[in-house]
Amino acid sequence: MTARQEGRISDMLLLLEHPPTLTFGSRVRQEHLLASPEVLAARGIQVHPTRRGGDITYHGPGQLVGYPILHLNRCGRDLHRYVRALEEVLIRALETWGIHGERSPGQTGVWVGEEKIAAIGVEVRRWVTRHGFALNVTTDLSAFGLIVPCGIADKGVTSMERLMGNAPDRREIEEEITRRFAEVFGYRAVAWESPDSLSGL
């Protein structure tokens, strides 16, 4: 992030997967953590505070996490526009596999009906973005039962695997998201650095 603020690197999109982890955003409410420390330890789930927006969410194997590091000059220094653009990236990518993702008025992320398939939580410092999105591909959805996901108690969580039966190959999803990211944000070229971690833009 600092390197981008100082102009030493260009905009980029990091794509990765976390071990079982709960992250707390800047608006977290402790009562939204439903499991005891003993239960979390038994399941090998770590807890980490972050400076992103939002409440509490789960990251883990089978989930594709994207961390855009880019200067918001590209979005007119408009954080709301940036978040809507991230949603658009995911909505367009999901359509590739016949999944109709959509926005839910007043709630951030991408939804399929009443279930969230992708969460978004961002931080911006000196107009450079940090954190990003988490797309449930083959995620163990039972882990979301340990929390009130994103502080929303009356809606569910889903995954590509649950909706499709069998999820596409991870690399295929990464390439499609990278392509859609470049399309939505107006990049001319995409340099694929690694199938596992980094897409440099």
What CATH number corresponds to the domain at position 106? 3.30.930.10
Q: Please check the confidence at residue 193 and state whether its pLDDT lies above 60.
A: no
Tell me whether residue 150 is one of the annotated catalytic residues: yes
Average pLDDT of span 48-75: 90
Q: Please check the confidence at residue 165 and state whether its pLDDT lies above 60.
A: yes
Catalytic residue, candidates 83, 89, 94, 150: 150
Q: Please check the confidence at residue 197 and state whether its pLDDT lies above 60.
A: no
Q: Please check the confidence at residue 87 and state whether its pLDDT lies above 60.
A: yes
Residue 106 lies in a domain: yes
Could you tell me what percent of the chain has a pLDDT over 70?
91
The dihedral built from the CA positions of residue 103, 109, 113 and 117, taken in this order, carries a sign that is positive
Q: Please check the confidence at residue 125 and state whether its pLDDT lies above 90.
A: no
Average pLDDT of span 82-96: 97
Could you tell me what percent of the chain has a pLDDT over 90?
64
Residue 160 lies in a domain: yes
Residue 114 lies in a domain: yes
* CA neighbor of 146 nearest in space, from 38, 64, 25: 38
Q: Please check the confidence at residue 198 and state whether its pLDDT lies above 50.
A: no
Residue 199 lies in a domain: no
Contacts of 106 (CB under 8 A, 6+ apart): none
Average pLDDT of span 98-125: 94
Average pLDDT of span 32-61: 92
Contacts of 99 (CB under 8 A, 6+ apart): 112, 117, 160, 163, 164
Residue 70 lies in a domain: yes
Residue 197 lies in a domain: no
Residue 69 lies in a domain: yes
Q: What is the pLDDT of residues 2-11, one digit of tens each?
A: 777 757 767 8
**Domain total for the chain?**
1
Residue 31, pLDDT score: 92
Residue 59 lies in a domain: yes
Residue 27, domain extent: 2-190
Return the higher-pLDDT residue of 115 and 51: 115
